[in-house]
Amino acid sequence: MVDRVDINSVLMQMRQVKSQLRSQQEMNVNNVAPKAAVDVVRSVRQEQTASAIQGDNTVPDFQTMFKNAVDTVNANQKSASELATRFEQGDPSVDLPEVMIALQKSSVSFQAMTQVRNKLVEAYKDVMNMGV
């Protein structure tokens, strides 16, 4: 069974980061001294590091979850391909509806993974375009 992160905790963390970035941008707009801004960034990073260390160890990190998702999509595609090959070779234990369902599952999972990747790239671009 794949462990899933509570979506509310992920959203809460994203909102915290967004509010921290907004406060940093407001400080830059209000002509806060660069040293003070650097100190704020350091304190935010220290808080994030401390919370990451004390975090719930039962929930997998994002990298692990993403790798598991990619592995699942890969496994779906391999099994669908194997079923299709067996059907094409005339294996009597494989029927057409089973092959079609497996192919559709692999297609849908690949499309979903592609959309997740696109959203991640978009979010990365948004973060990189933010002024610090």
CA 131/CA 37 separation, integer angstroms: 12
Question: Does the CA dihedral 124-127-129-132 come out positive or negative?
Answer: negative
Whether the per-residue pLDDT at 1 is higher than 50: the answer is no
Supply the DSSP symbol for 54.
S
- Nearest-angstrom CA–CA distance, 27 and 40: 10
Supply the pLDDT for residue 31: 47
Measured CA to CA, the distance from residue 53 to residue 59 in angstroms comes to 13
For residue range 68-123, list pLDDT tens digits in order: 989 999 999 999 999 999 999 999 999 999 999 999 999 999 999 999 999 999 99
